[in-house]
Every structure is written in C-alpha cells, then in structure tokens.
A and B are shown apart, each in its own frame.
Chain A
Amino acid sequence: MAGIQLVGNANNTTAAEVEVNTKATRVVIRPDDYGSLGIYRLGANNGASAMAAGLAAASPIYAWRSGASNVYIVKRVLFMMFSGTTGFTAGNAIFNLFAARSFTASDTGGTGVTPTGNSNKLRTSMATTGIADARISATATLTAGTRTLDAQPLASIVTAISTATFTQFVNPNTVLLDQRVGEYPLVCAANEGFEIQATVPATGVWFFAVTVDWEELASY
C-alpha cells in the first residue's frame, strides 16, 4: 500500500519530510500555546545590603504564590549565594525548595517583586501575569504566610561554608528545579506555589539571587 503524506494547515500543500536513513520525521519544538495568557521570567536578588547574620534555621527567603484562576506551570528555579563582608562560622548551609499549597495569606516582609503591567513577559502582547505574590528577603527572613508546605522539599542544595568573605558558595544559576521538554513541571493551581528556605551557619552576612521561569495557561 502506498503511503500518505502529512500536510500542514495554512501550509496545506507542504508535506512533512522523513529522513532517508534514520526514517525519522522532522519536527520543530514550539513553546506551549499560551492562548490569551503568557510566559514569564523573573530574576531577583536580595539587594545591595547583605542578609544579616543570625538567620533562624529553615527561614523563608523567597516565596511565590499563584493567582486565583488559571494554571501556573513552573518550569525552572535557579539559585546562587555567596558571603559578604563578614565571614561565617564554618559549617554547612541548606537551601530547600518546598511546594506550598492552600495559600490563604501570602508571605510578607522583604521586597515584593510581583510583576505588573508588561513587566517580565516574554512578549509584550501577553497578558499581565496573574500571580498573587512574589517576594524575596532583603536583609532578614520573610514572615511566613498562611499556607501548607510539603513535608519534604522538592529540591535541596547543601554546601560547605568556610569563614572566607566574598566567596561564592552556591554557583550562579544552580538548579533547584529544571523541568525540561518532556518532563513534568510543577503545576500550580489557584493559590499554590513554592518557597525557598535557608539554613546558614552563624556570624556571616550573605547575598543571594533567584530566577524563576513559568507559564500561565487556561488548562494543562
């Protein structure tokens, strides 16, 4: 039986090609179809002043909460951290990424970095993001909102901390979450999200930065 050809939509006289030797059809990867919503990327750092010494264990330092409608597809969360002018007591640091569910009140404190207007869209014609809140510590812990964290983190970075000042302990763009094509992302329904918690040794002051990639879709 003779084969058939697969043709396009508007390009309906163009048939898809199949490679001669591998017998694989050619495909091109496109982003998710965001419809009337959008795709976003947000970078943030704690600012010019260092995180103060004496942070309590498991303190929230970054919080991200979805909006009241649509589906929020978190694809990637990147993290980096280094010491400032005062060194730490030698020890270990832990940075945990937790899924947060059933938000009824967002975290507070720090610096609110929720995009507004056209900010942080990957294309101006996309809709303004619908996330309820994105927030990063400035010099101290965030005040936890009302939400339920998973008992175990989605991801964790542990690193040895020396007494050295201005030393990189977590390299730039270290992955906390990176769900690539074909991998299941963190899918947040209304009032869900994630939080990063820090546990660091005593005495040291430090800086950090977080970058988040997400999509907002009507369904997924």
Chain B
Amino acid sequence: MRTIEAQTITDTIVRLCMEANYNLGDDMLAAFDKALAKERSAAGRGVLEMFKENAQIARTQRLPYCQDTGFVICFVDLGQDVHIASGLLEDAINDGVRRGYTEGYLRASIVGDPFNRKNTGDNTPAVVHTQIVPGDKLTLMVMAKGGGCENRSKYKMCTPAEGVEGAKNFVIECIRTAGPDACPPLIAGVGIGGTFERAALLSKRSLFRAIGEPNPNPELNALEQELLAKANKLGIGPQGYGGDTTAFAIHINTYPCHITSLPVAVTIECHAHRHKEAVL
C-alpha cells in the first residue's frame, strides 16, 4: 500500500489546469503546420496562422489560449494499492480546480444549477471519472473542455444491422452539423459499443491520445483515417470559412456491446484541445 496525500493531488491539479490552458500541446502545433501545408483556402490558412500566433502568445504571456477555459474533466486512474490520505479524492481535485482557476486568471464558466444558472465563481465542480487500475500509481488526466464544441456532441443508438456504415455516417453527420459553430478544425472522439454511458465515456477518453499517434488497433486506425479523409471533403474548413481542413483527427475507442445494440457517441472537440496529465 502506498500513501498519497490529498494535498499532493490538489497541487498537481492546480498545475495541470494552468498548463492545459496556457500551453497547447506540441501535437496540436504540429497538426496546425501539417494542415497549413495542405490547405488550399487562403482564409483557412489565415485562420491556422492565427492559431499558431495565439498559441505562442498564450504560452509566453500565460494567458489562456481560449477565453472559454472549459469544464474541467478529470479522468483518474487510481492504482488499487494506493491509499489517499488526509482528504477525499474529489474534494482534492475540486480544491485544485478552484485554486488553479482563481490563481491562474482562468474563467469561471460553471453554473451551479442547470436552471437557476448562478455561476459558482471558481469553475468548480469538475467532472471526475475514476477507475481502479492495478498498481500503486495515481494518474490524473485533466481536460479543459470548451462549451461551444461540447454542445455539438451527439449520441446515436445504431442497430446492429446498420453496422460500421451506420457508425461512419453518424460520425460524419456530427461533424457536418457541428459546422462552423464548434470552432473547426475539429477533433472527433468516437466511442463505439458498451452502453449509453459507456460509449460517451469512451469518446471522451479517446481525446487524450496524442494527435497523429495511430490507433493501436489496425482496423480502427484504418477506420479513423477513412473518416478523417471524408470529414475533410465536407468543405467546412477552418472556422467554417471554407477549406480542406475540417478535422485534425478522428479517435475511436470501442468496447463489447449487447446483441441488440450498436451505441455510437461522438464528442466534438475544437482546436483549443487543452489537456495535460500527471502520474503520482
């Protein structure tokens, strides 16, 4: 049994929240350059250049890349030989969000109730997904998830008869209907299989894979590449101004499912793809 102090978790979350918002990942920066080399639209290239400049300013000035500093989604892989001392896991995470967002000049974007809509003032609470894993490590994966793109995420319970074609059509339909609203170029996280809620979780988690890193499953990798090529023929382009770069990546995670079901969940993520992780 290994002991991790709740305070250590809080301090780590503070740092991850800030870093995620100021420092866009190298994989995204590489994706911008790759798209710039292929994009035919002058307006589209202009947008991609602005992303690069924006990332540079955010990094050097410690200003958030996007003013929507997101809902904090935290995937926790908790080793079953870990004991968290001096506090509760979710409290420790929320304390970290509170401090990270307040001390880091990050926007408070969470309302405490879906109907009365009063802002909680410190961007808490986070959405925490915990799973128990072997070992004595604690992995914290933080994503600052923008609202505009999240609003375009969708779910469809396909039938087994619809099969892979049904799933493909639904993913492309999600990207098409997200259109210019969700700040394209996009990343689509796709969860296929499991149940209603499992598919959604798979789709979110898939977004933590680095852009450009192939899917370890060759068949899914081929499917991702096929869907990416299709998405980029939609013509929506950077910011929807028209162009060849509508999506940077499609990530697919799958899980076994019931004989009656073919669940497909699509999380839409924008170019402000902000996530960081730490292993304690």
Same complex origin of A and B: no
- Chain A residues within CB distance 8 Å of chain B: none
B-side interface residues toward A, CB under 8 Å?
A: none
